Amino acid sequence: MNRLDVEFLAEGSRCKAWLYLPKTKKPAPVIVMAHGLGSTRVMRLGAYAERFRDLGYACLVFDYRHFGDSEGEPRQLLDVNKQLQDWKAAIAFARTRTDVDTDKVVLWGTSFSGGHVIATAADDQRVAAVISQCPFTDGMASSMAVPPLTSIKVTIRALTDKLGSWFGAAPVTIALAGKPGSTAMMSAADCEQGYLQLVPDAAAKQFPNYVAARIALQILTYFPGRKTPQLNCPTLFCVCETDTVAPAKATLRHARRAPRGQIKIYKEGHFDIYLGDSFERTIGDQIDFLQRTVPLN
């Protein structure tokens, strides 16, 4: 109920999205949402959007190009600049709607997109608020958290993929989440089970747990956390204390530089925050933040 299938163009390609609309006669503030590294909207984003909608907020939940239901070839191609363009296109689309309050656009990101929303809001001074959950803020910190041997194997595959792309070769892929010691983007002890538990049972057999390996080269030089001083809107940072993917120390260092930043710290790890009691605590804090900073009319 109250969820529409919509789409918008990002550099000529269609991005598919869900638009959740609350039962209200007035246009509601809209929360633009997308997932993290290689993830899609079916991986628990609906659980957040439904809670926000039930409070009276609209939500636009989209898949990036090359992922999920959105267009883009080759599939599973993750590019930082393309995803940032997708965020801009999603926000522009939200601002064309007459059924939402276009003066109250909130950005919600998690993990890799937790960094994207920081970078996007820093460049868009009209954004009303930001929620950045277990955010990727510092490429060097995330890379240093990977064991050296794994890092070498990942880099070799990334370089092979990048070189092949110059000659039109098909992407060389790498697992998104794998067991410790495996050649995967995320291979800490909690990553494989934690990541894959977000995939719905109905999609588990077909879920592509891989991505074009070249993204590993971009991650090393991506530092969205450096833009926190440029955020002029209220920003909530939900930080996982034992995060193996986006180390909390670096995240907190960046978060404390946000002029209107608010920080909540959770004892759980990176993937715990999406489920169970941790999810309830986290979304409770996010709801409180929304009601204080972007109140309903």
Q: Which residues contact 21 (CB under 8 A, 6 or more apart)?
A: 2, 3, 4, 28, 53, 58, 99, 100
Query: What number is the average pLDDT over the span 200-227?
Result: 95
Question: What residues does each domain of the chain span?
Answer: 3-140+222-293
* Predicted pLDDT at 1: 62
Q: What is the mean pLDDT of the chain?
A: 96
Partnered with residue 33 across adjacent β-strands are 61, 108
pLDDT at 110 over 80: yes
pLDDT at 297 over 70: yes
Q: How far is CA 171 from the centre of its chain?
A: 23
User: To the nearest whole percent, how much of the chain has pLDDT over 90?
Assistant: 97
Q: Which CATH class is domain 3-140+222-293?
A: alpha beta
pTM of the model: 0.96
pLDDT digits (tens, 9 = 90+) for 224-277: 999 999 999 999 999 999 999 999 999 999 999 999 999 999 999 999 999 999
pLDDT at 2 over 90: no
pLDDT at 220 over 70: yes
pLDDT digits (tens, 9 = 90+) for 73-105: 999 999 999 999 999 999 999 999 999 999 999
In the structure, how many helices (H) and strands (E) does the chain have?
Answer: 9, 11
DSSP-based three-state secondary structure for 258:
coil
Q: Which residue has the tokens 């930080």?
A: 239
154 vs 25, higher pLDDT? 154
pLDDT at 204 over 90: no
- Sign (positive or negative) of CA dihedral 138, 139, 142, 147: negative
